[in-house]
Amino acid sequence: MPRRSPSRPSRSSRSSRLSRPARRGLAAVTVALLASVAVGCGDAGELQGAGATPTAISPDKLWPDLTPASSPAFDIGEVDTEVVKGITVPGGDIRKVDPVAVVRAEITTHPGDYGKGTYDETARRMADCGGSGAAGSRCPVLKAYYRDLTGDGHDDLTLGFRQLPGNLTAVRVYTVRKDRLVQVMAYEDAVSGVELAGRSVIIRAPSEVAGYEYRLQWTWDQQQRAMLLTHDEMLRTGGRKYSPHPSASPTSTLTPTTSASPSPSGSSSSSASAPSSASASASGR
């Protein structure tokens, strides 16, 4: 006859064997554990107060009786566009345009800006463009950058060149319309950096105030079909200091080119957008 294994006592029979004081202690421990779990679940994910909210204050309108201006006091040329004369765009491909030829066309079109007593050294150094060695390094034309800034699916040209003698760098943007090269932005300043971000050209320039710099953002506007000055602000530089009189060789993210042929594409990005403050600084500080 097979041997039957002893059956294990059920949970109810085991608990019934506990003494009354032991059962009371077990119940107290169980209640305490359940209470702690309930408190922990209630704290998870709950919103916490951030303190008192400052009272919103509406802006005060000054001089309400002042007659509003109907026209600008200064023309900063922010919507001026210009067809570059003497430059062809083979097949509408802006990369086939010679950047050095574009700068030479500007000098020819605006001789008063590059004559004696102005930026005449820029005009003289154009003869060094396309050379090699030390002679080529004297070329004032910087590396060309290509990016679609107008949103038409085709590259546009961002070009820079030094305006010498002096400390200015000219920044130009060109697009193509009906196989013609069109300048849609022109700006010059003592530039410390240039960036491309989205449909914008961001220019940084040193300030006379130590620890600050100017940041100007030019953005393509489809209605005006030009790059508009959309932001003009002064920002902290994070410890960098500028002299009120910068040296003749500022650091720029655009590097000189020693060849007359278009350079490879390149670009950098930047965070955009902060409150703007309109000013006439777009015409040079």
| Average pLDDT estimate for 250-278 | 37
| Average pLDDT estimate for 112-132 | 94
Judged by DSSP in three states, 84 sits in strand
| Average pLDDT estimate for 154-164 | 97
Q: Give the pLDDT score at 55.
A: 87
Quickly state the pLDDT bin for 135 (edges 50, 70, 90).
Answer: confident
Q: Where are the alpha helices (DSSP H) in 115-240?
A: 120-125, 133-137
More confident residue, 246 or 102: 102
* Amino acid letter for position 46: E
Quickly state the pLDDT bin for 251 (edges 50, 70, 90).
Answer: very low
Quickly state the pLDDT bin for 48 (edges 50, 70, 90).
Answer: confident
| Rounded CA separation 94/143 (Å) | 15
More confident residue, 86 or 272: 86
| Rounded CA separation 266/147 (Å) | 8
| Average pLDDT estimate for 206-233 | 95
The per-residue pLDDT of the chain, averaged, comes to 77
Indicate the pTM of the whole model.
0.65
| Average pLDDT estimate for 130-155 | 93
Tell me the residue ranges of DSSP E strands in the chain: 82-88, 145-147, 156-163, 168-177, 180-189, 193-197, 200-206, 212-221, 226-236
Cα-based torsion angle of the residue sequence 253, 169, 179, 90 in order, rounded to the nearest 10 degrees? -60
| Alpha-carbon distance values, 278 to 7, 164, 209, 210, 247 (Å) | 91, 28, 19, 22, 28
- Is there a contact between 217 and 272 (Cβ–Cβ < 8 Å)? yes
Of all residues in the chain, the percent with pLDDT exceeding 70 is: 67
| Rounded CA separation 208/230 (Å) | 22
Reading the block at residue 170, the tokens are 């000219």
Q: Give the pLDDT score at 148.
A: 98
Q: For residue 118, how many C-alpha atoms fall within 13 Å in the half-sphere facing its CB?
A: 8
Q: Give the pLDDT score at 102.
A: 98
- Is there a contact between 170 and 245 (Cβ–Cβ < 8 Å)? no
- Name the β-bridge partners of 146: 157
Quickly state the pLDDT bin for 51 (edges 50, 70, 90).
Answer: confident
More confident residue, 135 or 102: 102
| Average pLDDT estimate for 153-167 | 96
